[in-house]
Amino acid sequence: MRLQLDLALVRNSLGHGLAVTRLAWKKCPGILILMLAAILGANNLGLALAHPGLANFGLLLVYNLASIAAYGAVYRLAAGDDEAGANGLGPWGFQWRALEGRLLGAALLLVLLFVFAIVLVVFLLLALAAIIAYGHGHELTLSSPAAIGAELGLGGIVVMLVTSVLALVASVSLYLRLCLSGPASAYSGKISVLSTLGLTKNHSLSFLFVFGAIYGPMILFMLCGEVLISVLARVGMDLSGLKIGFSALYTGLGTLVIVPMIAATQAALYRSLKARHNQS
């Protein structure tokens, strides 16, 4: 796989994503607010109820369904009047039509695919660890750090760390190759997951820059918040209210900014690459 950085693709997709995000705040604020209310409720339900399990499940279900509807709304706004255009957009972003059904199907297929990939990777890592331990004359137990050192040895630990890092890189690469399944399913009229592999070939580095530009400031802000809380904790301040406030702020930014920005940027990436593919 060749790693190519397409700066024009990165710049144009981020610019289009920001423009559509602003439009989403005007055209579909209701569905974003519902997502925020559901996830805040799920995060803080334990403060109000002794046994929040069922209510928590219900709120998370509402959040996930609302997120599908929010992605559908943003994809419609990103498309404009053509393809799956804004004519299917409901009031304040509340709609559930065939497009949202395809998004739900694509999301479920992605979850199943990654669950299978994770199980396969864990199985292969355990098999490799068992082989290394057997080579050292031990049975694999991994029951404690001391047992890991005895069973695998220093060389075996290094091999396992390197293999784990490679598996993580492969997982991230797979996600980047499949990250356009949402807009592909929205605009093509059918559930599209693996079919996006041909479209995203050689663009993983560009996608990494795009998503890094979106998530990076959010992560930096969260780290600064945690550092501030840690510093204030050292001087003996009561931080219970501050922690709840920061948590709500992180959640709000993630829901009201990151979600529509990711959806809009995915749509821009898909439409740009699809246009190039059709021309070629």
Could you read off the pLDDT of 117-133 as tens digits, one per residue?
Answer: 999 999 999 999 889 88
Distance CA 4, CA 176 (A): 13
Rounded to an integer, the average pLDDT of 57-81 is: 90
- The answer, yes or no, to whether residue 66 has pLDDT greater than 70, is yes
The more confidently predicted of residues 235 and 253 is 253
Number of structural domains (the chain) is: 1
> Is 2 part of any domain?
no
> Is 172 part of any domain?
yes
> Is 181 part of any domain?
yes
Distance of CA 167 to the CA centre of its chain: 18
Distance CA 179, CA 270 (A): 10
- The answer, yes or no, to whether residue 27 has pLDDT greater than 50, is yes
- The answer, yes or no, to whether residue 33 has pLDDT greater than 70, is yes
Cα angle value 249/59/73 (rounded, 5°) = 75
C-alpha pair distances (Å), 133 with each of 66, 138, 140, 167, 203: 48, 5, 6, 20, 39
Q: Which two tokens stand for residue 188?
A: 């093509």
Distance CA 20, CA 23 (A): 5
Instruction: Please give the DSSP secondary-structure letter assigned to residue 50.
Output: S
Q: Provide CB contacts within 8 A for 39, sequence distance 6+.
A: 59, 60, 63, 251, 255
> Is 72 part of any domain?
yes
Residue 209 and residue 8 in contact, taking contact as beta carbons nearer than 8 Å? no
Distance CA 268, CA 17 (A): 7
Rounded to an integer, the average pLDDT of 143-171 is: 87
**Quick one: pLDDT band at residue 259, thresholds 50, 70, 90?**
very high
DSSP one-letter string for 162-200: HHHHHHHHHHHHHHHHHTTHHHHHHHHSS--SGGGHHHH
Domain range spanning residue 88?
Answer: 7-279
- The answer, yes or no, to whether residue 136 has pLDDT greater than 80, is no
Instruction: Please give the DSSP secondary-structure letter assigned to residue 87.
Output: G
What phi and psi values does residue 209 have, to the nearest 5 degrees? Answer: -65, -40
- The answer, yes or no, to whether residue 49 has pLDDT greater than 60, is no
- The answer, yes or no, to whether residue 86 has pLDDT greater than 70, is no
Distance CA 23, CA 59 (A): 27
For residue 247, what pLDDT is reported?
84
Condensed to tens digits (0 to 9), the pLDDT of residues 202-223 reads 899 999 999 999 999 999 988 9
> Is 51 part of any domain?
yes
Rounded to an integer, the average pLDDT of 19-24 is: 94
The more confidently predicted of residues 75 and 244 is 75
Distance CA 152, CA 139 (A): 10
> Is 81 part of any domain?
yes
The more confidently predicted of residues 151 and 75 is 75
> Is 1 part of any domain?
no
- The answer, yes or no, to whether residue 84 has pLDDT greater than 50, is no
**Quick one: pLDDT band at residue 31, thresholds 50, 70, 90?**
very high
Q: Provide CB contacts within 8 A for 170, sequence distance 6+.
A: none
For residue 260, what pLDDT is reported?
95
> Is 33 part of any domain?
yes
Residue 180 and residue 196 in contact, taking contact as beta carbons nearer than 8 Å? yes
